[in-house]
Amino acid sequence: MPNIDLHCHSTVSDGLLTPTQLVKHAAARGVDVLALTDHDDIGGLEEARRIAAEKKITLINGVEISVDWRGQTLHIVGLNIDPAHLQLVRGLSSIRDGRTVRACKIAAQLDKFGIHGSLEGAYAHAGEGRLIGRTHFARFLVQQGYAKDMKSVFKKYLVKGKPGYAPHQWAPLSDAVAWIRSSGGRAVIAHPARYKLGKDALDELLLEFLALGGEAVEVITASHTPEQSLLFARHSQRMGLLASRGSDFHGPGESYFDLGRMPELPPNCTPVWHDWNRVM
Ligand code: AMP
Ligand code: MN
Ligand code: MN
Ligand code: MN
């Protein structure tokens, strides 16, 4: 059975490895099929594709889009998208612009709290003019000694109700799914258990997602406990959704799962790759 990992990040968003390093790392871990799914950016796909060809890995063009649904942030993964599709390219560019504005607000919040220089500090991690996210602020804050690790820095500073949090409006769910679909891709709800939706809200989300043309949910992801994976395997069967598997790898030392090193999909799930000829 091929080793399939359909969710990971490079330095193009908030990962620690360049697309080249990431694909080489995947090859060394025995991954056969890899989707690079940077947050709101597809700028790493071309480089990743070149190295994947060398390493005999099947590279899936992916992206992880930040979405606002009923005031809550959701992540929607797009698989097999066309990175040249204009609507998608423009949509992602507008989300990145929003990230730049939010970063200034986060820095202003931290300033008020007496933590100075965080914007420059975060950009030192992201790269000047590159996509900026909370992970880059987190790395700066840990480096400065404000928290001991990534998990605790989020808890202390970067989530709702904490000093370095700035509320933000992401793309509507309907737009994200439309961009993915119109570019030929398949839309997947990333790490669904993380949103802590009650039963009714979850059903409403899944029905709305299906109605928009969404097709899959992540069942195996670093964000899920084994119980949550089984729960979402059942939800996927119940709703007629396909099931995906991804490590959500961000880099050595920062991630729960290494590339390709996570459990298989539970039996009875229909894999999101079931009709991908190159994979089966
Ligand atoms: P953003 O999209 O900029 O709001 O940042 C979201 C990213 O922050 C996620 O993709 C993770 O990489 C990271 N993140 C969120 N929560 C945590 C956490 N509790 N611990 C470590 N990283 C986190
Ligand atoms: Mn991330
Ligand atoms: Mn995510
Ligand atoms: Mn991710």
CATH of the domain at 236: 3.20.20.140
Ligand 1 pocket test, candidate residues 134, 170, 256, most atoms within 8 A of CB = 134
Tell which residue, 165, 208, 175, has the closest CA to residue 95: 175
pLDDT at 143 over 80: yes
CB of 150 shorter than 6 A to ligand 1: yes
Q: Please provide the size of the chain in residues.
A: 280
Ligand lying nearest the CA atom of residue 135: 1
Q: Place 63 in a pLDDT band, splitting at 50, 70 and 90.
A: very high
Residue 187 pLDDT grade (very low, low, confident, very high; cuts 50, 70, 90): very high
Q: Kindly state the average pLDDT of the residues 184-191.
A: 98
Same domain, 13 and 85: yes
Domain membership flag for residue 70: yes
Other Cβ atoms closer than 10 A to 210 = 13
Whole-number Cα distances in Å, 124 to 121, 127, 133, 143: 5, 6, 12, 12
pLDDT at 69: 98
Q: To the nearest whole number, what is the mean pLDDT of the chain? A: 97
Which pLDDT value is given to residue 266? 97
Q: What is the spatial distance between Cα 185 and Cα 84, in angstroms, rounded to a whole number?
A: 12
pLDDT score of 225: 98
Per residue in 51-62, pLDDT (tens digit) is 999 999 999 999
Residue 64 belongs to domain spanning = 4-92+169-245
Among 94, 89, 95, residue whose Cα is nearest residue 42: 89
Nearest-angstrom CA–CA distance, 76 and 188: 6
- 98 and 222 part of one domain: no
If asked whether residues 142 and 36 sit together in one domain, one would say no
Position 30 pLDDT exceeds 70:
yes
Quote the tokens at residue 120: 């420059």
Q: Could you say which of 137, 158, 179 is where a domain stops?
A: 158
Distance, CA of 39 to CA of 185 (rounded, Å): 16
Instruction: Please list, in sequence order, all residues whose beta carbon lies within 8 angstroms of the beta carbon of residue 84, skipping any fewer than 6 positions away.
Output: none
Residue 171 reports pLDDT greater than 90: yes
At residue 223, the pLDDT reads 97
Asked if residue 275 belongs to a domain, the reply is no
277 confidence band (pLDDT: 50, 70, 90): confident
- 83 and 173 share a domain? yes
Write the pLDDT tens digit of every residue in 79-112.
999 999 999 999 999 999 999 999 999 999 999 9
Q: Are residues 82 and 12 in the same domain?
A: yes
Based on the fold, state whether residues 126 and 187 are members of the same structural domain.
no
**Ligand 2 centroid distance, CA of 250 (Å):** 7
* Residue 40 CA, closest ligand 1 atom number: 2
Split at pLDDT 50, 70, 90, the class of 280 is low
Integer Cα distance of 272 and 77 in angstroms: 12
Residue 206 and residue 115 share a domain: no
Number of domains in the chain: 2
